[in-house]
Amino acid sequence: MATLTHRQKLEAKKLANSKLQTEVNDISPTDKIHGWAERMIRVIAYSAHAECPQYDYHWAGWRLVRVKQQVTTKGGLAFADGDFALMNPSVNKDQQRDGFRTVYSIRNGVDTSVNQADLDLLS
């Protein structure tokens, strides 16, 4: 993968910030708390990956879940019991293992495979 120049990094950050601002602006005062949580996680994910153009709109359409128990990976703690997260709603066999879903972890900043039984769908 090619290394981005300083200018490309700045442009990527500007694009990400624009997307973040749009997400925030689209929040209406009548949104439930779950709507806020879903949008904030998406904002955090876009911000964390601003320099990676392949993640543009990656989490669009993902659903809010609450993780029921701690999940650890080789990279350390991905989710603590009760964490809110975004889950890929796809059940396409090419994208998901049977019984598992892809969930974005704010804690380690990556999509993580989580047993579907350990997730509560909130939105």
**Tens digit of each residue's pLDDT (9 = 90 or more) over 9-68:** 878 877 776 675 576 556 565 666 677 788 888 888 888 888 888 888 888 889 999 899
110 Cα distance to chain centroid: 8
The answer as to whether 70 is a domain residue is yes
CATH of residue 28's domain is 2.30.30.40
The answer as to whether 62 is a domain residue is yes
User: What SS3 state is found at 115?
Assistant: strand
Count: domains in the chain: 1
Flag whether pLDDT at 91 surpasses 80: no
Range of the domain at 63: 6-121
pTM check: above 0.75: no
Tokens 């703690």 belong to 77
The answer as to whether 19 is a domain residue is yes
Q: What is the mean pLDDT of the chain?
A: 82
